[in-house]
Amino acid sequence: MKFRSRSPDEPEINLIPFIDVLLVILIFLMLTTTYSKFTELQVSLPVADVEAARDRPKEIIVAIAADGRYAVNRQPLQARSVEAVAGALHELVEQDSVLIISADAAAPVQAVVTVMDAARREGLTRMTFATQTSGGVEP
């Protein structure tokens, strides 16, 4: 019995599935990339599910960086005391003002408490915390 030797098939690499996977990864990265609103401080917001944003008459935004630095309406503060934050808030407080605390997820709790104490001293009773949705996209 004579057996014929088969010529081995040359392996070939199919690039189409590879390109498909790369495109899916590229689309995923493009959709999950976020852009920071506050460029003066690198802030990574905590995650929460939020409902649609409501219009607010006067917003005062206090950003808190991971190392405890403050920025009030995009103006960095040099001091980190309650008095310094209260002084910066005093210039901006109007009737029916809303304080938005935009704290980094890694910010010390004391920094957030300091802002809340300064707001209480200035008579701000309406406060909220800025968060990002679970998908990583800012509202």
Region 17-43 average pLDDT:
79
10 domain residue, yes or no: no
94 domain residue, yes or no: yes
Are 101 and 108 contacting, i.e. CB atoms less than 8 angstroms apart?
A: no
Q: In this structure, what CATH number is given to the domain that contains residue 117?
A: 3.30.420.270
Residue 19 pLDDT class (50, 70, 90 cuts): very high
102 strand-pairing partners: 63
Across 33-37, 120-124, 129-133, the highest mean pLDDT is recorded for 120-124
Q: Which two tokens stand for residue 12?
A: 């070939």
Are 53 and 139 contacting, i.e. CB atoms less than 8 angstroms apart?
A: yes
Calculate the alpha carbon distances from 14 to 7, 20, 25, 44, 88 in Å.
21, 11, 18, 41, 63
User: For position 26, what pLDDT does the model report?
Assistant: 92
- The amino acid sitting at 35 is Y
13 domain residue, yes or no: no
10 secondary structure, DSSP code = P
Is residue 43 pLDDT above 60, yes or no? yes
Q: Per the structure, how many domains does the chain have?
A: 1
Are 72 and 31 contacting, i.e. CB atoms less than 8 angstroms apart?
A: no
Residue-number span of the structural domain to which 112 is assigned: 58-129
Is residue 40 pLDDT above 80, yes or no? no
* d(C-alpha 32, C-alpha 24), whole Å: 12
pTM: 0.56
Mean pLDDT of the chain: 81
* d(C-alpha 91, C-alpha 114), whole Å: 17
111 domain residue, yes or no: yes
42 domain residue, yes or no: no
Calculate the alpha carbon distances from 43 to 20, 23, 88, 124 in Å.
34, 30, 20, 23
pLDDT digits (tens, 9 = 90+) for 53-111: 555 468 888 999 999 889 988 888 888 888 888 888 888 887 778 889 998 888 889 99
The fraction of the chain above a pLDDT of 90, given in percent, is 18
39 domain residue, yes or no: no
41 domain residue, yes or no: no
User: For position 36, what pLDDT does the model report?
Assistant: 52
